[in-house]
Structure 1
Amino acid sequence: MRARDFGVLVLPDASAPAVLERFRRVEEFGFDQVFLPDHIANVFATEPAWLDGATLAAAAAVATERIRIGTLVSNPVLRPPALLAKEALTLDHLSGGRFELGIGAGIVAADHHATGTEPWSVRERVARFAEYVRVLDEILSADGEPYTFEGRWYSVRDLATGPAAVRRPRPPIVIGGQAPSILRVAAQRADVWNTNGKPELSLDENIALVARQNRELDELCDGYGRDPRALRRSALLWATTDPLTGPAGLEELVERLSGAGIEDFVLGWPEPAQADRFETLVREVIPKLR
């Protein structure tokens, strides 16, 4: 069995110095990864204020030394694929090869409203996502060679792709989502698949869902001629799978989700009232689960 990784999703919902301190604390705690979201605003509340996650990923790269840094997940509504690829390469260099590029399908209406666009239909979002990830993958793998792509939704002409990535062959791609179309793209192109389950489902229902989706991913990988073990499986623990607020502790969650195929576990940065319990998990529970 491969070693488990543990990460933390840090929301940019504090002052810049406070968020930087969160990055440092995550690294001091010994986590493997720190992630940031990529929405124009908090999708759940209007307060507190919300900073830009992608910009703070660059700050995390220079504020830390060891921990891997990533987006969970970058947003195609806000960032054209060539721009995101250049941002990812820059973060790859800033971090010395520690950056991991999470990509989602762009489902939040507020991100569209902020950019003056109408929310995409499901059909359009699915078609866009496959093209979007293809362009990103090919640019990041181009090793400085000029890149051109002409698709239905995206086009890139004579893009200078240098410098080549520090992380070889390119920064890892983490695809987040649960729709069948997302699973197909993950099986084709991702290094990691991430799920956050469904908040309306119970813990048992979410475990069953993850197990079924991992079986589907195995079959899809086989169909594409890819070893299913080459695609790591990751879970963001929240709602009914949150060890700080949900019905199960971290030990039970890791045991049950591991049985469903999950290898990496991402916790949320705690609210102040949960800080002591979070530190207990860090110091007493996670070391035994690795």
Structure 2
Amino acid sequence: MVYPDQPFPVLVERIAWLEGLGFDQVFLPDHSSDLRDPRGTWFDSWSVLAAAALGTERITLGTLVANQILRPPAQLAKQAIAIDHLSGGRFDLGIGAGIFPWDHHSVGEIPWSPKERAERFADYVSIVDGVLRGGVFSYTGTRLWVKDIHTVPGSLRSPRLPITVGGQSPTLIRVAAGHAETWNTHGPPGASALEVLAITAEQNRRVDRLATEAGRDPSAIRRSYTIFGPWDPRRGTHGYEEIFERFAASGVTDFVLDWPGERHLEEFERVARDVIPELRGT
């Protein structure tokens, strides 16, 4: 995970360095300002992704996660297709429900209730999924609708580029089970390390059940954990090796590492070069 909080040459250099280290994917978040400090530098992530698409050759690019508050679903799908083509088919679209009030305020919206957020998200992902497949698409949902959306061309990959759904609410997990190639979580904020581990395992089992109910093979849905909160290795309590082992046992297949910062760069590089290659594909 790379935040768009540096000058463009630095961001492109960081992403190219991650590619050289052998990482499979690099993600950017999608907010109207820096969630840590709104006064800080914060570029549009989609512009950074476009620059990264031209500055890399192998690594898959993506959003973690694109924010339903900030743009209409059909427009999001077309932005994703543009980066997919620009990168030669190296773009995965992560989508989230959005929650921060300042993102609502940036587009002139009063923050939605949890019920409205969930209903919008279910419609939102259905529309994005349909538009990504190309052709002409219409949809009428509980909160959102589109009519005769023409998408030419569609995704480079068939039937569409991969979708990741990020979030933990019952609605988001159900949407992930019905639509996504990957479900991503960072665990409940404020929970202890053991609580995050146990909840992630239970949510993984819920994805299995809901995918089966939706007529999908649960094993076709990857499970992604963004290392966060009490498991953050920069806190000095849990190392990367322990995190990989314990969350893999709970059903996690993919791990998202935060940009380490200068103090932890050496350990981050060690893990990338010496630890991750041995675990890849297990």
TM-score computed with the length of structure 1 as normaliser: 0.93
Post-superposition Cα deviations, 1:117-156, rounded to whole Å, max 9, x if no partner, equal 0110000001000000000001112x3x222223342222
Task: Give, as a single letter, the amino acid of the residue that structure 1 aligns with 2:102.
Answer: A
1:209 to 199, 207, 210: 199
Aligned length: 280
Task: Give, as a single letter, the amino acid of the residue that structure 1 aligns with 2:163.
Answer: I
Task: Give, as a single letter, the amino acid of the residue that structure 1 aligns with 2:105.
Answer: H
Q: Unaligned 5+ residue runs, structure 2? A: none
Question: 1:112 matched to which residue of 2?
Answer: 104
RMSD: 1.2
Question: 1:92 matched to which residue of 2?
Answer: 84
- Does structure 2 retain, via aligned residues, the 8 Å contact 1:196–1:237? yes
Task: Give, as a single letter, the amino acid of the residue that structure 1 aligns with 2:87.
Answer: S
Task: Name the CA shift for 1:37/1:247 in 2 (closer, same or farther; >3 Å).
Answer: same
Q: Per-residue deviation at 1:245? A: 2.6
Pair 1:199 & 2:189 matched: yes
1:161 to 127, 151, 175: 151
Pair 1:248 & 2:238 matched: yes
Pair 1:239 & 2:204 matched: no
Q: Bigger shift: 183-192 or 155-164? A: 155-164
Q: Per-residue deviation at 1:47? A: 4.6
How many percent of aligned residue pairs carry the same amino acid? 49
Q: Unaligned 5+ residue runs, structure 1? A: 1-8
Larger RCO (CA under 8 A, 6+ residues apart): 1
Partner Cα separation in structure 2 for residue 47 and residue 160 of structure 1: 39
Pair 1:102 & 2:120 matched: no
Q: Per-residue deviation at 1:246? A: 5.1
Over 6 Å off, 4+ runs? none
Question: 1:257 matched to which residue of 2?
Answer: 247
Q: What does 1:277-288 align with in structure 2 at a 5 Å threshold?
A: 277-288=267-278
Post-superposition Cα deviations, 1:84-141, rounded to whole Å, max 9, x if no partner, equal 0100111111111110000000111110011110110000001000000000001112
Post-superposition Cα deviations, 1:171-195, rounded to whole Å, max 9, x if no partner, equal 1000000001111101101000000
Q: What does 1:10-49 align with in structure 2 at a 5 Å threshold?
A: 10-49=2-41
TM-score computed with the length of structure 2 as normaliser: 0.96
Alignment partner of 2:151: what SS? coil
Task: Give, as a single letter, the amino acid of the residue that structure 1 aligns with 2:168.
Answer: Q
